[in-house]
Amino acid sequence: MLLNIIDPALIDWSRAQFALTACYHWLFVPLTLGLAVVMGIMETLYVWKKDPFWKRTAQFWMKLFGINFAIGVATGIILEFEFGTNWSNYSWFVGDIFGAPLAIEGIVAFFMEATFIAVMFFGWNKVSRGFHLASTWLTGLGATLSAWWILVANSWMQHPVGMAFNPDTVRNEMMDFFAVAFSPVAVVKFFHTVLSGWMTGAVFVVGVSCWYLLRRRERAFALASIRVAAVTGLVATLGVMFTGDRSGIDVARHQPMKLAAAEGLRRGGTQAPFSIVPGVEVPGMLSVLATHDVDGFVPGIDDLLDGYTAPDGTQHLSADERMRRGRLALDAFAAYRAHAKSDPAAAAAARKVMDEHMDHFGYGYIASRSDLVPPVTLVYWAFRVMVGAGCLLLLVLAAMLWYGRGGRLAAKRPLLMAGLWSIPLVYLAGQAGWVVAEVGRQPWAIQDLLPVNAAVSQLSPASVQTTFWLFLVLFTVLLVAEVRILCGAIRKGPEGDELLPAGEGR
């Protein structure tokens, strides 16, 4: 864990490979979360109304859920393995903490999904309606619990809590499981992310249903699906906006550099303006979003680098000073390790210095203060893509509900086209959100504790580059295969669903 010279190409390719895997994985996860809710509601309507129409409708969306679920599992497994292969220093340094939620996810949530998904797909006419309905909802609950534990792990990387550093093992050890599992940052991130998945699934159902209406096919099926999905999506979108507001406060408190980068804010202050686009600002709005107070203080990038005094008198150290103290902590750690067995008094003195500066430990690995600034242009525009796309989707979903009354929607071809094109738009919003979350916290693998240059495995850049291209080809093939299978199932339509008993609902 001591500071070594790392080939920048190794860091870049390792980050690129992980980002590639994560981006592809997030193409599958939100649709799984969203379709689970939509098809659960539809099957509930079937059990309640005892109308075979709703059974047929639920079965069709279940088929698309199954296609997406099967391929999504592959990318998720590879993503977890990369922590050990490409980020072994990270895994060693915090594996006791980070590994716990991932282990729970695999043992509890994933097995729950695997158990009930079999009943959901193959239990029609073999178990009671109530038991089958419970299996459908429990499959969705299993997927949601998987998301909970994965997001707990990710949130801990954004705001590490509940641990203590053990210099004898060179590991951070979990001291408070509940602080990790139920951190306010994790709770907000969970609801924000899962609701965005519901939004994705709902928009997908709306978009596919719009395609049927444009083709003048399956009118009753499409209109009914749009009603269910539009309500689900509208509620989810409003929830995403609410949790996004809460997330903004957490980011301002724990990751101020990310917020400053997302706003392109060089110098902050009270009544900080919110930038809609360069040159167009809303006075005081950023302070409101970050602190819920128009007079709240928001530091800018230069404030964080140079150090500043908050209005309440709190002194915030400069980046140079934090880097200096971080190197003191690293030197003290090295001295402690050198004298731990041979000179207890020297080891105790070194331990005292290390503990005094432990809050700055990660800064000891930073070579230049400019490294502490994430790619501002990318984060700035990703945030605006995320917010702008979310607002457009809210309008589309609201219009679907409005014109869906009285059967008017089928005649609104421009709106149907907007619904169809909302599918790529909702995926763009989701990917942009993860760019803000992950690129915005660079250079940190764990915020303020471990930068990526200290977290990476000691590999040759060529080996990582090779696997990057292999994964790119593999994931692209999987994605193309899924899209083709999904499109084939959609073209076939609910009439051809093999899960439907012969003659029922036709």
pLDDT digits (tens, 9 = 90+) for 1-41: 444 567 889 999 999 999 999 999 899 999 999 999 999 99
pLDDT of residue 504: 39
Contact 109, 146 (CB under 8 A): yes
The β-bridge partners of 308 are 316
pTM: 0.91
The β-bridge partners of 316 are 308
Question: Above 90 in pLDDT, residue 99?
Answer: no
Is 405 or 269 the better-scoring residue by pLDDT?
269
Q: Which of 71-75, 153-157, 305-309 has the lowest mean pLDDT?
A: 71-75
pLDDT of residue 446: 94
Confidence of residue 73 (pLDDT cuts 50, 70, 90): confident
pLDDT of residue 7: 81
Contact 205, 61 (CB under 8 A): yes
Number of neighbouring beta carbons within 10 Å of residue 480: 10
pLDDT of residue 503: 38
Question: Which are the contacts of 289, defined by CB distance < 8 A and separation ≥ 6?
Answer: 245, 248, 274
pLDDT of residue 502: 36
pLDDT digits (tens, 9 = 90+) for 310-354: 888 889 999 999 999 999 999 999 999 999 888 999 999 999 999
Number of neighbouring beta carbons within 10 Å of residue 413: 11
* Cα-based angle 70, 233, 58 (whole degrees, multiple of 5): 50
Residue carrying the six token digits 């699934």: 201
Confidence of residue 103 (pLDDT cuts 50, 70, 90): confident
- The residue ranges of every structural domain in the chain are 21-255+378-495
Question: Above 70 in pLDDT, residue 230?
Answer: yes
> What is the Cα–Cα distance from 121 to 144, expressed in whole angstroms?
19
Q: What is the dihedral of CA 231, 433, 174, 112, to 10 degrees?
A: 40
| pLDDT more than 70, % of the chain | 97
Mean pLDDT estimate for the chain: 90
Residue carrying the six token digits 């509620």: 235
DSSP state of 447: T
pLDDT of residue 4: 53
Q: HSE-up of 4 (CA within 13 Å, CB side)?
A: 12
Phi-psi sector, 343: left (phi>0), alpha (psi -120 to 50), beta:
beta
Contact 37, 232 (CB under 8 A): yes
